[in-house]
Amino acid sequence: MLNLSDNKKKMLAIVAAALAGVALPGVASAACTPGAYGTGPDDFVVLGTPATAPATGQRYLFRSGLRGSTGDAGAPVTCADDIAVYRAPDGQVKRWPRLATRETKTSFDSDATRLTGELIEPAGPADPKRPLVVLVHGSERTMAAAAIYGHMLAAQGISVFAYNKRGTGTSEGEYTQNFELLADDAAAALREARRMAAGRFGRAGYFGGSQGGWVAPLAATRSPADFVAVGFGLVVSPIEEDREQLLDEAREKHLDAVAIAQVERLSRATAQLVRSHFATGYEALAQVRREIGNAPWAKTIAGEYSGDMLRMTDADLRRIGRARFDNLELIWDYDAEAALRKLKVPLLWVLAGEDREAPIAATQAILSKLHAAGQPIDAYLFPDTDHGIVEFRTNADGSRTATRITDGYLKLLADWIKGDVRGSYGRVEKLYR
């Protein structure tokens, strides 16, 4: 969710590409136009851009969360000439055309910066009751995830506005993780979406995934919004996120009390470094290094940034630490709870039960406190899922490989935005009654 190490960036880029159908270098062109194919809001599949080698064909994503590549052996869907052929589990073969949408590109200003975006609306007569949602970026530098979510939501009867984050795609400016500035951009995006869809929507608000969970609620305090939806986000600061990840890893490694105390001191030392923008904290971290010594767990513990800092030499950290870890204007002590307390509109928060990237314990406790105080919060938890609400398999080395978005999540998200939550949504647990 933050400015990650190179290896972690590569891993997350691969996962994001698999989920979103992102085209990476060295792949063939798509056979069909990216978008939703089917017969309506219950029977459709979203096709993305080309799959990455060694896979062939195009990435696909069903509302159930099933995903893969059309070129895979035994794939349930293939596509040519903008006709998707779906082979249902019962053997029935369906030919699905591309669902018509109205797609309008635009550009708009935010804090003297020109940003670009696109409004995706379901085709057909104007519906003044249709919800309109602005997709707020996570930490990614492309619109790919927004594109797949956009078509997934549009196929379920929602108008969607997706925009290029500043410093990415065709938007001007410098890429940043400054939540205050990003919230200004999201607020400007909602104003532009309202202008473009005037007379063709009812309630309007935000959906933010991952880092967007910090930005979307703040944006809703800066522009009129009717709702905010968040998936796999946090209500703690980036510093606390790193600490929670470290402690989760320590528990998974079954570290003893002495080692856990060392992990806590590591967190405090690196927090001092980032809070001071690498002006102070080097001596404290050097002391922690000496205490930990050659402990086996020190070679693999990660957090968001503390593990990398632990394994750097003091000289290297002093020389390049700020350039590596503190180069994106991140607000390290950002008070996410304060932004939520200001919200008066309905809030949806969806948690991944086994989220390693955004551990949920502190977030869940804060949401529960705010709900008990009377804020209109709907919170749901999907068990046995990791960041992105994805199911996974655990590898021999303890790492995880994402397999699919869990069943129920994509439908729940759309139904909640439409104000029509009913029926079952996979294995979801509703946290408040």
Q: How far apart are CA 151 and CA 157, in angstroms?
A: 10
* pLDDT of amino acid 145: 64
Average pLDDT over the chain reads 92
Q: Which residues of the chain have pLDDT under 50?
A: 4-29
Query: pTM (2 decimals)?
Result: 0.90
| Residue 297 CA neighbour count, 13 Å, CB half | 21
80 residue type, one letter: A
* pLDDT of amino acid 49: 79
Distances, alpha carbon 153 to alpha carbons 7, 36, 203, 410, in Å: 32, 10, 15, 8
**Position of tokens 């899922």?**
385
- Phi/psi-derived region of residue 298, left when phi > 0, alpha when psi is between -120 and 50, beta in every other case: alpha
Percentage of the chain modeled with pLDDT above 70:
92
Pairing of strands 132-136, 204-209: parallel
* pLDDT of amino acid 359: 96
CB < 8 Å & 24+ apart, contacts of 369-378: 370/337, 370/340, 370/341, 371/432, 375/340, 375/341, 375/343, 375/347, 376/345, 376/346, 376/347, 377/346, 377/347, 377/348, 377/349, 377/432, 378/346, 378/347, 378/348, 378/349, 378/416, 378/421, 378/430, 378/432
Q: How far apart are CA 223 and CA 281, in angstroms?
A: 39
* pLDDT of amino acid 3: 52
* pLDDT of amino acid 15: 40
pLDDT digits (tens, 9 = 90+) for 89-131: 999 999 999 999 999 999 999 999 999 999 999 998 999 999 9
* pLDDT of amino acid 69: 93
* pLDDT of amino acid 16: 45
